[in-house]
Amino acid sequence: MRNDPGIVILDGARRTPRADILINNQKPGLFSRFSATQLGGMAIEATLDHSVDKGLVGHVVMGMAQHSHRDSIYGAQGMRWRGGLDNDVPALTVARICGSGVESLAVGSEMIMAGMRHNPDRPFLVVGGAESMQYPFCLFNYRGRPVGAGVQKYGPIDVKMLPSGSHLQDSLLMGLYDPGAEMNMANTAEELGRRYKITREECDELGAQSHLKAKQARDEGWFDEEIEPVAVQLDGAEEATMLKHDTHIMDDVSLQKMARLRAAFEPGGIITAGNASAVVDGAAAMVIGKESDAAKHGVEPLARIRTFATAACDPQIMGWGPVPAVRMALAQAGLKGDQIDHIELNEAFAPQALACIRDFAEMGIDPEKVNPHGSAIALGHPLGATGAILTLTCAYSMRRTKKKYGIVTMCIGGGQGNALILEAV
């Protein structure tokens, strides 16, 4: 994508906090009662409250990686009406797994540029992403059998009543295994660690720094303008609790505590619960449009979309995908690595992020400019929402610090990478 139409993200973009799927790995997370469409609707509603009149929105494009609730099949359409947009606004769900949130910006921008489905009377699009990682357990080998006491269509399962041959599987864990690579996502990061000779100590250091940077950003209020607090009604409480911040940030992180954690995916491996991305729920939305339409309707742009790139790589090192994607995006934009002021790299796993950072440095990108506010190890990775959330963080940070160029990039399960370049306006 070139910058000819001047596609911009409008000011007022908002996201929900990111909430752990479990509290202390025991109790249901604070967003466990919300579906992906509900979370996406919250983000859309908050964004429209701070942005353009909803009558100027002609289309909704939202990313979502996987179905997790009964209403998930409706995806962006459910987010659209929950966000307060009228029934005459169409909605599209896009899925490029971990890159879905950025893919929504690409698809929305291309719709505006192509013009075939663009409505000049409603020139703006809502884009973003949402993910409830409360993925269900799935019952297999029961289709076609009588539904009796063992399984109810809208009720509990009595596993003792299930016939032989039927079984339950965790769709969250199933989704993290890539049959093309013949390994789990975490094992692809372990493979990158071997190829780049990355140590456990380096991984723990990255994990600790992620938490320390995220804590500073939270405490300094750097996330405040992008987060819309969410009211959560806890069981037994008379009044709702306002969730204002991402929940996974550790206030007392240390390398000593990191070192005590055992390898999570391979004997002698370097990935632990402390240096891998947190599993959280969350959503983000923003409004995009032509720069000329923003001026016409008197709305302020937040950042200009300079270019997008999507690349592919060997699925056994899927975490390396950001490297060819960033290289391609820089070439498309006519920029050098040393011109990049801020880069948001999703930390799927510490060795994956470290491998990418090393190759970014060879492109001229300063490692100190990567994830200055922490990333997914501290903040979490709600798959279909992550790209949109990182875009908000990058754009607001660039405006606050008066920087020129930023990159948002992430690896994608199966062996891909997305990269978005933002330019200050």
What angle do helix axes 350-362 and 185-195 make, rounded to 10 degrees?
50
Collapse the DSSP code of 62 into the 3-class scheme (helix H, G, I; strand E, B; otherwise coil) and give the result: strand
The catalytic position among 203, 313, 356, 411 is 411
Q: 266-276 in b/e burial notation, b at 16+ Cβ within 10 A?
A: eeebbbbebbb
Checking DSSP bridges between strand 19-20 and strand 342-345, what pairing results, if any? unpaired
Query: What is the CA 18 to chain-centroid distance, rounded?
Result: 10
Runs of H (alpha helix) within 158-254: 171-175, 185-195, 200-219
Runs of H (alpha helix) within 297-340: 322-333
Is the torsion defined by CA of 83, 129, 271, 205 positive or negative? negative
405, 403, 340, 346: which is closest to 371 by C-alpha? 346
- The residues near 71 (Cβ < 8 Å, ≥ 6 apart) are 35, 37, 78
Q: 216-234 in b/e burial notation, b at 16+ Cβ within 10 A?
A: ebbeeebbebbbbebebee
Beta bridge partners of 417: 311, 411
The catalytic position among 98, 313, 356, 394 is 98
| CA 44 – CA 265 distance, rounded (Å) | 37
Is residue 203 annotated as a catalytic residue, yes or no? no
Provide the 8-state DSSP code for 263: P
The residue assigned the tokens 């899925």 is 95
Beta bridge partners of 126: 60, 287
The count of other CB atoms within 10 Å of the CB of residue 148 is 10
63, 123, 121: which is closest to 91 by C-alpha? 63
Q: Which two tokens stand for residue 39?
A: 């979370």
Active site (catalytic) residues: 98, 411
